[in-house]
Structure 1
Amino acid sequence: MRMRMLGLVAAIVAVAIVAAGYGWWRWSHPGLPDGVTQTNGRIEAEQVQVAAKTPGRVMEVLAEEGDFVKAGAVLARMDTRDTKAQLLQAQAQLLAAQRTKEEAVAAVAQREAQRTLYRRQYGRTARLNKSGYASNDQLDQARAQRDAGDAAYDAAVASVSQADAAIEAAKATVQQIETVLEDAVLVAPRSGRVQYKLIQPGEVVGAGTPILTLLDVSDVYMTVFLPAKVAGGVRIGDEARLVLDPAPQYVIPANVTFVAADAQFTPKSVETADEREKLMFRIKLNIDRDLLARYATVVKTGVRGMAYVRYRSGVEWPATLAVKLPDEPR
């Protein structure tokens, strides 16, 4: 009898310990309120390909994998010796066109003076012919000189227009080559981290060949999938929270920036309510750009974790999902 009583007491104590432990676990891990759902995902960032615009030899690559670079930083340079020679030739052609215009302008002044003289001579000859002091041959000769002077003047004016066109063409060629030289210096289009170094100095590449792959750490997000019942209530701008596996003590705020219009996973035939529950929609959760700017040097992609999405407005976040961020890196 005594042994039975001891066994009963021991069982009661064990049940009490289990209940206390479960109660503590529930207190430290409260359930999610109705209107907040959870799922898992992975931190991602937009990738930017830094590529050669024109074919040529890569002279140097100034960034290494893992480097954090700011927008506008020089990442690589192409060999531009041939292009610089073309620029000198184009500049010489521009100078020649400008001198040709100067000569054409001087010719216009000369032809204008001759045209004025020939017109005056024709006028005097016409008056003399009318009075009988100049023959018709002299009048025809004066008229021919006048017409020749007008034609020479028009040709000189046309030469100036041609010179202007040649100058504009030469300027366009110079500008085009200067643009090629500018494009030969590859700069970071935005701040980010170098993920891959794809080309080594000395390699010859074609137009559009990627040299480096850059991760844009100002556009970081987690892609998750939610069932149709929940996704139907999610709206653009709804709040979310991210808890990453390597740092579960922190809670990162995010917002819904994309909700897929079509289901990503569907059964072969959707007929019953149970089957409709299997529909999954892609949701994109973006971290605020200003927040990312503060932690840009420590942002990493590929990290997995949990996402909590609020799909009903007005629902309060539980205390365990209050925003908590690490100290800002120096």
Structure 2
Amino acid sequence: MKKAASIFKIIFFLLLAGMATATWYYYKGQNNKSLPEYIASGNGRIEATEYDIATKYAGRLDEVMAEEGDMVKKGQLLAKMDTYTLETQLREAKAYLVEAKDKNEYAKAMAAVRESELNFAFREKERAIKLSHFNNISQKKLDQAITDYESAKAELQAAKIQITRAASGTEAAAARIERLNAELAEMELVSPINGRILYKIAQSGEVLAGGGNVLSVLDLTDVYMTIFLPTVQAGKIFIGSESRIIFDAFPQFVIPAKVSFVAPRTQFTPKAVETRTEREKLMFRVKVKIDSTLLKKYVNVVKTGLPGEAFILMDAHAAWPENLRVALPQ
């Protein structure tokens, strides 16, 4: 009895598989049956723009907050790098900034002292010059007064240079703090788009080089299919040409799309192009893109890698046949 039941189950599943295959071939045949001459078609797989979430600086990966398959929002924190070293450098830079500010204030105070000394030396020099006119002061004292004045002037100039150096030190310390804060911000890896995590490449605790990938995110609102068309058809297709996509897994649905790219040159060519037959073998790469507004409506069910077929209208004034009219899932 158990053996008979097992045989019955096998036969049942075989019948189901046969029915599914027959249904697929039926829809495939319906879609390709008597395809008008003004419609081009090609096979391909659905793809989406992929973003690599990578660390800008080398370091240890502290934590990864997302897993493969997760839906993420733009700006969402996905991973963090270890920031202990940067935080210690930041504290050190802040201490240097305080010290640089103190040096700047000290230099200004010393400049004020030197300026006061210069004023005193100037008055002493002027007084000595007047006394020398009446021979009331020796030449030695006159020379000393002049020397003291010149020395005071030089010391004031040196004090002003110290102010400039102290100000530069303050600015350098502030710039270093700004740079370290920017590096700390870069240690938090956020999603640049709304999308789905495709791959988790690195694990918490791993040491990564600069530019090391951590996650890969798919933009599910930028989905397209790439196909290849011969020269005769590619020459009649333009960016914006209306298109339709039918997936092998869902042949009952017809997805509206538009041509977003036509290659400016052939993608593969025979070794020698001499005859008309060989020229017809030249193939152009064409991208057919699904409208992002439509994708946002179905974003939770969009899957990349699905095989299917794209159909492109080569005559803008022609109408789509019944089997290629838009039919979306409810």
So what's the TM-score if we normalise by structure 1?
0.86
Per-residue Cα deviation, 1:250-296 (whole angstroms, up to 9, x for no partner): 22222222111222232222111111111111001122223223322
- Report the equivalent of 1:292: 295
Confirm or deny that 1:249 pairs with 2:256: no
- Report the equivalent of 1:219: 222
How far apart, CA to CA, are the structure 1 residues paired with 2:34 and 2:84?
67
Alpha-carbon offset, residue 58 of structure 1: 1.3
Alignment partner of 1:103 out of 102, 106, 110:
106
Confirm or deny that 1:133 pairs with 2:169: no
CA RMSD after TM alignment? 2.0
Residues 99-248 of structure 1 mapped to structure 2, 5 A cutoff: 99-248=102-251
Alignment partner of 2:88 out of 85, 90, 93:
85
Q: Secondary structure at the match of 1:199?
A: coil
Per-residue Cα deviation, 1:76-112 (whole angstroms, up to 9, x for no partner): 1111112211111111111111111011111111111
How far apart, CA to CA, are the structure 2 residues paired with 1:170 and 1:62?
34
The verdict on how the C-alpha distance between 1:177 and 1:26 changes in structure 2, with shifts beyond 3 A counting, is closer
Q: Which runs of 5+ in 1 are unaligned?
A: 1-24
Alpha-carbon offset, residue 30 of structure 1: 6.5
Alignment partner of 1:276 out of 258, 274, 279:
279
Letter in 2 for 1:62: M
Select between 293-302 and 157-166 the one with higher mean Cα deviation: 293-302
Q: Secondary structure at the match of 2:46?
A: strand
Query: Does the Cα contact within 8 Å between 1:64 and 1:197 map onto a contact in 2?
Result: yes
How far apart, CA to CA, are the structure 2 residues paired with 1:62 and 1:76?
6
Q: Secondary structure at the match of 1:109?
A: helix
The verdict on how the C-alpha distance between 1:116 and 1:326 changes in structure 2, with shifts beyond 3 A counting, is farther
Q: Secondary structure at the match of 2:228?
A: strand
How far apart, CA to CA, are the structure 1 residues paired with 2:318 and 2:184?
57
Q: Secondary structure at the match of 1:270?
A: coil
Per-residue Cα deviation, 1:47-83 (whole angstroms, up to 9, x for no partner): 2111122222211111000011111111111111122
So what's the TM-score if we normalise by structure 2?
0.86
Q: Percent identity?
A: 43
> Runs ≥4 in structure 1, deviation > 4 angstroms?
25-30
Query: Does the Cα contact within 8 Å between 1:33 and 1:315 map onto a contact in 2?
Result: no
Q: Secondary structure at the match of 1:216?
A: strand
Letter in 2 for 1:290: T
Alpha-carbon offset, residue 319 of structure 1: 3.4
The verdict on how the C-alpha distance between 1:28 and 1:179 changes in structure 2, with shifts beyond 3 A counting, is closer
- Report the equivalent of 2:17: none
- Report the equivalent of 2:75: 72
Select between 240-249 and 162-171 the one with higher mean Cα deviation: 240-249
Alpha-carbon offset, residue 228 of structure 1: 0.5
Q: Which runs of 5+ in 2 are unaligned?
A: 1-27
Count of residues in Structure 1 that have an aligned counterpart in Structure 2: 303
Alpha-carbon offset, residue 156 of structure 1: 1.0
Query: Does the Cα contact within 8 Å between 1:50 and 1:210 map onto a contact in 2?
Result: yes
